[in-house]
Amino acid sequence: MTASPANNMDVKRRNRVNTLRCILKSDRVSQMELTQRLALSWPTILQNVKELTELGLVREDGMYASTGGRKARAYAPVRDARVAVGVDLTRDRVVVVLTDLSGNLLHQATGALRFSMENIYFQYLGGLLRRFVDANGAEDRLLGIGLALPGVVDEERGILRDSRDLELRNVPLSRFTQQFPWPCRCLSSAHAAGLAEFCAMKTQEDMVSLSLGDTVGGAILRDGGLHRGDHLRAGEFGHMTLVPGGRRCRCGKDGCLDAYCSAKVLADHAGGSLSAFFEELRSGDAEKREIWREYLEYLAVAVNNLRLSFDCGVVIGGAVGAYLEEFGELLRALLAERNPYERDTAYLRYGRRPQEAAAVGAAMVQVEAFLQGV
């Protein structure tokens, strides 16, 4: 059976997109390396590289040294040919980032801004973004805005279904984006943070993320993409019951993981400052050491449950995740004791984007939409 012209076009587009993805993962690559990595023919790679070069997304980068035959031409990505802005909006602050096509952080701005549904708040937010884009000379390369919101985001219906953090239900997403003069896509903060961590690790393996910020959230990477679930709540690990009848959670239920493992749990023991808590822990404070041990015991239960439920890698990010490289040895020991099948904790990784993860992940949604259409 002969393939239809439409199918041929889809195959060509997919091959071109995969070629660009491969080049974006490399600082410098030859056509031969591309043919080997992608299992595509030499003429196909040659045509794809030519088209991507004409689009300004790839450039020639000299020649490789000869190995006896004709020298191979080298190609490099033009990662900043297009850029995207990501915004992480929370109850008390706004984080704005500018990323390139590989998700590299080019510029960042963070400021305290108390959330409000008043028009003046959205006007200020719109002005902040316009000034940020202008200051960084991004207007002519900008793909659009990615907006991360705390809660359940239903982009198909265009609503923020439920945000306990902002105390909102069924609010049109257009309310948040009305002051943005560029295309905007919205997703939940937890999913955005997970996406950023997945992209930073450059993996296509299934993985779950657990984000330990002022609230606890998570995301599930399955088959190379985010798994959102039947009701867009996949990864709401913060509201798994950890201790039946335990501490009251902000959601109104008792014993949620959020009530035991949010960054706020630690910060509240150091005048509201997470960094101060770890400074005191670093100095050997006995009280902080006991608090940290109790925190890790609860965290180990949660991580072990994720490992046994999904049987894949687990990455811990968020504000607390940034400290685990230094203070996480006990966590690994607790995990080795708790898991009945394995003592090796190599499946556990620590996040690489502690503060700006949700904003970067939101920007990557715009990047991904662009790559799919190349």
For residue range 322-348, what is the model confidence (pLDDT) as tens digits? Answer: 899 999 999 999 999 999 999 999 999
CATH value at residue 151 = 3.30.420.40
Phi, psi (deg, nearest 5) at residue 77:
-75, 150
Flag whether pLDDT at 10 surpasses 90. Answer: no
Question: pLDDT of 265-288, one tens digit each?
Answer: 999 999 999 999 999 999 999 999
CATH value at residue 44 = 1.10.10.10
pTM for the predicted model, two decimal places: 0.85
Q: Note whether residue 343 is domain-resident.
A: yes
Residue 109 — very low, low, confident or very high, per pLDDT cuts 50/70/90?
very high
Q: What value does the mean pLDDT of the chain take?
A: 91
CA distance 100 to 279: 34
Whether residues 59 and 89 share a domain: the answer is no
Flag whether pLDDT at 234 surpasses 60. Answer: yes
The confidence score (pLDDT) of residue 135 equals 96
Domain boundary among 38, 59, 77: 77
Whether residues 72 and 93 share a domain: the answer is no
Q: Note whether residue 33 is domain-resident.
A: yes
Percent of the chain with pLDDT over 90: 74
In one-letter notation, the amino acid at residue 205 is E
Domain boundary among 77, 96, 129: 77
The confidence score (pLDDT) of residue 1 equals 47
Q: Note whether residue 241 is domain-resident.
A: yes
Whether residues 228 and 340 share a domain: the answer is yes
Q: How many domains does the chain have?
A: 3
The confidence score (pLDDT) of residue 352 equals 73
Whether residues 215 and 342 share a domain: the answer is yes
Longest dimension (CA), the chain: 74
The confidence score (pLDDT) of residue 6 equals 54
Q: Note whether residue 199 is domain-resident.
A: no
The confidence score (pLDDT) of residue 226 equals 83
Whether residues 12 and 92 share a domain: the answer is no
The confidence score (pLDDT) of residue 195 equals 87
CB 210 within 8 A of CB 315: yes
The confidence score (pLDDT) of residue 361 equals 93
Question: pLDDT of 180-200, one tens digit each?
Answer: 999 999 999 989 988 888 877
Whether residues 61 and 87 share a domain: the answer is no
Question: pLDDT of 135-160, one tens digit each?
Answer: 999 999 999 999 999 989 998 999 99
Domain boundary among 57, 77, 97: 77
CA distance 29 to 325: 33
Whether residues 285 and 330 share a domain: the answer is yes
CB 182 within 8 A of CB 198: no
Cβ-count burial 351-369 (b if 16+ within 10 Å, e if not)? bbbbbbbbbbbbbbbbbbe
CB 362 within 8 A of CB 187: yes
Domain hosting residue 323, numbered range: 204-350
Q: Note whether residue 64 is domain-resident.
A: yes
Strand order in the sheet with 225-226: 225-226, 216-222, 207-212, 313-317, 348-350
CA distance 1 to 4: 9
